[in-house]
A and B are shown apart, each in its own frame.
Chain A
Amino acid sequence: EVQLVQSGAEVKKPGESLKISCKGSGYSFTSYWIGWVRQMPGKGLEWMGIIYPGDSDTRYSPSFQGQVTISADKSISTAYLQWSSLKASDTAMYYCARRGPVTPIDYWGQGTLVTVSS
């Protein structure tokens, strides 16, 4: 069974750094792109970027380029989304999602809630 399991909720202060994770199982982790999606409170879905764990090829949406870093460690089948200096506006639910072989997204993680508040 394919699963994407994300790390738990985080509460951080502005200016702090953060790295959240998404662990894939039940499939060949290096063979499928993993993307990240932001959902701010009460708002819609925003595509952030995507990584191919096989070779770490990473692409970003222009709105998120330079704001976050997407990475992956294929030895432990885990993708990451990180911030070097959080802002209150980074408060959101973040989902990881697998690009399917024929579908844009076929599996989603359960989401990680990030709260940034002083």
Chain B
Amino acid sequence: EIVMTQSPATLSVSPGERATLSCRASQSVSSNLAWYQQKPGQAPRLLIYGASTRATGIPARFSGSGSGTEFTLTISSLQSEDFAVYYCQQYNNWPLWTFGQGTKVEIK
């Protein structure tokens, strides 16, 4: 099983600041990496797939980068609605997809 490790566990950021979230895979997942946002009481929402492609309707302030084992999600200027938990997911190892443990982005 591919283990996905996200850091940090919690990120405290002020509105308008940049947030950088990391995700590391225990072995290469190529570019088969997705990012999801989850708000309390809601299902997750796809933000990024293919490591860097924004999903439909996702604002340009969200960007993804990386390949192989190291990935980054950047939120360029945090808005109030962006405070949430973010998960990475590898889908390279079909059908044994795995999620990271999540990074909570909270208001500083």
Contact = CB atoms under 8 A, between A and B. Distances in A.
B46 A62 contact: no
The residue among B36, B38, B95, B101 with the most chain A CB atoms within 10 A of its own CB is B95
Contacts of A111: 43
A102 B48 CA distance: 12
Interface string A70-102: 000000000000000000000000010000001
Contact of A61 (B36, B43, B49, B96): B96
A102 B89 CA distance: 15
Interface residues of B, number: 23
Q: Is the interface of A mostly helix, strand, loop or mixed?
A: loop
A104 B97 contact: yes
Interface residues of A, number: 20
A50 B91 CA distance: 13
Interface of A: 35, 44-47, 49-50, 59, 61-62, 95, 102-106, 108-111
16 contacts: A44-B99, A45-B38, A45-B99, A47-B89, A49-B95, A61-B97, A62-B1, A95-B43, A102-B49, A103-B49, A104-B32, A104-B46, A105-B34, A105-B36, A108-B45, A110-B43
Interface of B: 1, 32, 34, 36, 38, 43-46, 49-50, 55, 87, 89, 91, 95-102
